[in-house]
Structure 1
Amino acid sequence: MRHRHSEKLRFIGQWLKNPRQTAAVAPSSPELAAAMLGELPAGSRRVIELGGGTGAITRAIVGHGIAGDALLVLELNEELHAHLHRRFPEELLVLGDAVELPRLAAEAGFLAAGPADAVISGLGLLAMDRELVTKILRSAFACLRPDGRFIQFTYGPVSPVSDSVLDALGLRMRRGEFVLRNVPPATVYVYERARPD
């Protein structure tokens, strides 16, 4: 309990410093993490997490058995990245921007073993413009297997990816679970290629 309390304080501190970079005011709940993991493709072994934050979802992914060099966690905030590095010394933790994911994942050695099965994202896509969302999704799908999934949660009432972006990238969307036990409540969305090669 003490650990979760300090995690919340750290997250709130980072949000106060830069609310646009840290999209949430509190770490994701175990229920939200479970809902995200429930959308992984069957037999998933390699995952990329965008926006590791304080590690709430990272902890669940590791607990799910995807760990070590099979998990790459990207975090843009330097203080949160350092915190993640202390908590998860065995995983591939990269400081950088999701737009640069293919290069960063290759430099970290993650892509040498092949593409990821899924990208799990905690990024605040709703606060981003269309061009940036397009770049992030294009970068994520460049690192995914043909039938891989981009799994995103959002606090808004609609998909954080517009139909025009989906059409431009050849993607389809499916709404997943609504998680009431999260602060604030969140909805999971799943994005896949409309026609996997």
Structure 2
Amino acid sequence: MGVAAVLPSGRQLSQKMLKPLSLLPESDPAQQRVIELGAGTGAFTRALIEHGLHCANLLVVERDASLHGLLRQRFPDLQLIQADACALRTAAQASGYLLGGPADAVISGLGLLSMPRATQRSILNEAFSVLRPGGCFVQFTYGHASPVSRALREELGLQVRRAGLAWRNAPPASVFVYQRAFTAAHTFSPPDATQ
């Protein structure tokens, strides 16, 4: 899949991606638990740290080996794993991150728009399996429409809202926030600490 953007994400886009975090019930950045998918060169990672997120509450996921190595050099104190977003829950469990509880938000720099629906479904299911009830999945895309189709949103029980437009980004990018209506079937179950 590689990097979704031609240029690194700009400051305006980073701010738009972090804005939904201020609307979470736990609005203190130091207490929020966030997973970043597709960290690339670390633009959103840096913004999350500058926002005040505690390093122990941030899990950074990058599949590409060379980008993972670059991120290791840039952010040596972070929990950083090389994994596929389609296996997020297993990777997050193996890292020990989920022992601290579910995430409040998943921030995604993945190129969802260019992925087949089955891959989108897998990534979203994995993301919501590690989110607490009411948690959100924040995604940017180049364009004005949601990168997740209405049919797939309905299938997964997701609501979406457009959180902003980073028009100064090159190219301009829209930010969308996805949330799932809480049901017993979608309750986070903590990993077994004995495994």
- Whether the 8 Å contact between 1:126 and 1:156 is mirrored in structure 2 is no
Deviations 1:45-67 (A, max 9, x none): 11000011111110000111113
**How many positions carry a matched residue from both structures?**
178
Structure 1 partner of 2:97: 110
User: What residue identity is the alignment partner of 2:78?
Assistant: E
Task: Tell me the SS of whatever aligns to 1:150.
Answer: strand
- Whether the 8 Å contact between 1:147 and 1:196 is mirrored in structure 2 is no
Q: How does 1:1-197 map to 2 (within 5 A)?
A: 20-40=1-21, 41=24, 42-43=27-28, 45-195=32-182
CA distance in 1, matches of 2:170, 2:94: 35
CA distance in 1, matches of 2:42, 2:82: 14
Task: Tell me the SS of whatever aligns to 1:93.
Answer: strand
User: What residue identity is the alignment partner of 2:106?
Assistant: V
Alignment RMSD: 1.2
CA distance in 2, matches of 1:127, 1:157: 15
CA distance in 1, matches of 2:51, 2:168: 20
Q: TM-score, normalised by structure 1?
A: 0.87
Unaligned stretches of 5+ residues in structure 1: 1-19
How far is 1:183 from its partner?
Answer: 1.2
Q: TM-score, normalised by structure 2?
A: 0.88
Task: Tell me the SS of whatever aligns to 1:103.
Answer: helix
Structure 1 partner of 2:190: none
Deviations 1:66-109 (A, max 9, x none): 13221001001111110101111111101010001000001111
Unaligned stretches of 5+ residues in structure 2: 185-195
Report the CA distance shift for 1:196/1:43 in structure 2 as closer, same or farther (over 3 A).
farther
- Whether the 8 Å contact between 1:170 and 1:195 is mirrored in structure 2 is no
- Whether the 8 Å contact between 2:134 and 2:181 is mirrored in structure 1 is no
Runs of 4+ in 1 over 4 A off after TM superposition: none
Identical amino acids, percent of aligned pairs? 50
Task: Tell me the SS of whatever aligns to 1:152.
Answer: strand
User: What residue identity is the alignment partner of 2:8?
Assistant: P
